[in-house]
Amino acid sequence: MPLKVNAEKEGQALAKQYKVEGFPTILFVDAKGELFAKIGGYMPPEGFSEEMAKALKTHKELPAIQAKLKANANDPEANARMAGICAAREQPDKAVAHLAKSEKAGYKGAAMAPAYNAVGDHYQTAREFDKAIGYFKKGDAAATNPKDRAYSQVSIMVCHLSKGDKNAAKAVAKTLAVLKGAPAEYVKMAQDVLGGG
């Protein structure tokens, strides 16, 4: 059931509990009150609906991923997928530990880039931009499709802008602006950065 709360008034305790640092923030919480996904900041409708669908899909898949890890704690794909879930649940240490298992196994599958990006998202939201950039760069290198690669690059670009480093942001924007298959809104953001002096 959707619930709208003003985090600057009656919702201050909830905002503190769920570590809400910016507005708007959309939290996905289960019946026990446990966070299973968070969307921070404004997103265009297409991107927002995709993030909502991803949160629901991940929540539904969690029991199967947990079962795979119970059967084999070193399953590299399950660890990569669990890393993304842990990052979304504000459990960065667990996320990094699961990623380490996937990396140790040499896993190069499609689940790695989203996992790196999810950990990067956590650190970006926490305003730890250098850590975030490191994970987004790994996501870019691990991406098996242009959408994941574009997400990594736009996130790196935004982190550089948040740090006030326009030159570094423009360097990433040059690559993103010509990335084949990148979502149009990311290309537009890159073009805006390049045209912004």
For 150-176, what is each residue's pLDDT tens digit? 999 999 999 999 999 999 999 999 999
pLDDT one-digit tens code per residue, 89-148: 888 999 999 999 999 999 999 999 999 999 998 899 888 999 999 999 999 999 999 999
CA gap 145, 181 in Å, rounded: 8
C-alpha to C-alpha distance for 152 and 54, rounded to whole angstroms = 17
Cβ(37)–Cβ(58) under 8 Å? yes
pLDDT of residue 197 exceeding 60: no
Amino acid identity at 148: D
Q: CA nearest 151: which of 124, 188, 114?
A: 114
Q: Tens of pLDDT along 104-119?
A: 999 999 999 999 999 9
Who contacts 172 (Cβ-Cβ below 8 Å, separation ≥6)?
153, 156, 157, 160, 190
